[in-house]
């Protein structure tokens, strides 16, 4: 047996099997419906995941903002009087 004889016999065997295979009449419709259900499920899961992440991010942001101190920070805590910031006024002007 050489390589071409083996290939010929394998081809004949596969062709014989292929001749016996008959697809179901509604196979395409069944597979397409199953695929569409999976696609809808994937989209629903993705939408729910996005909603959960968005909600968690919003809640985390609100929690962080709520943790801010009620008193002004060091930057805005200026104890000098406003008159000390004004330039000196010349008498008689």
Residues 26, 32, 37, CA angle at the centre, nearest 5°? 125
Question: Token pair of 77, please?
Answer: 């805590």
Banded model confidence at residue 93, pLDDT cuts 50, 70, 90: low
23 vs 81 pLDDT, higher one: 23
Q: Measured between alpha carbons, how far apart are the two ends of the chain, in Å?
A: 120
53 vs 79 pLDDT, higher one: 53
| Residue labelled with tokens 């989209």 | 43
- For the chain, percent helix, then strand, then coil, each to nearest 5? 65, 0, 35
pLDDT at 56 over 90: yes
pLDDT at 12 over 90: yes
Beta carbons within 8 Å of 35's beta carbon, 6+ residues apart = none
pTM: 0.51
How do the domains of the chain map onto residue ranges? 9-65
Residue range 13-39: average pLDDT?
93
């Amino acid at each position: 047996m050489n390589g071409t004889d083996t290939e010929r016999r394998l081809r004949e065997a596969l062709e014989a099997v292929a001749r016996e295979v008959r697809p179901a009449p509604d196979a395409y419709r069944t597979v397409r419906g199953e695929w569409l259900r999976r696609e809808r499920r994937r989209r629903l899961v993705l939408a729910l995941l996005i909603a959960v992440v968005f909600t968690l991010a919003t809640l985390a942001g609100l929690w962080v903002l709520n943790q801010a101190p009620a008193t002004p920070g060091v930057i805005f805590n200026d104890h000098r009087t406003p008159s000390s910031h004004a330039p000196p006024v010349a008498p008689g002007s």
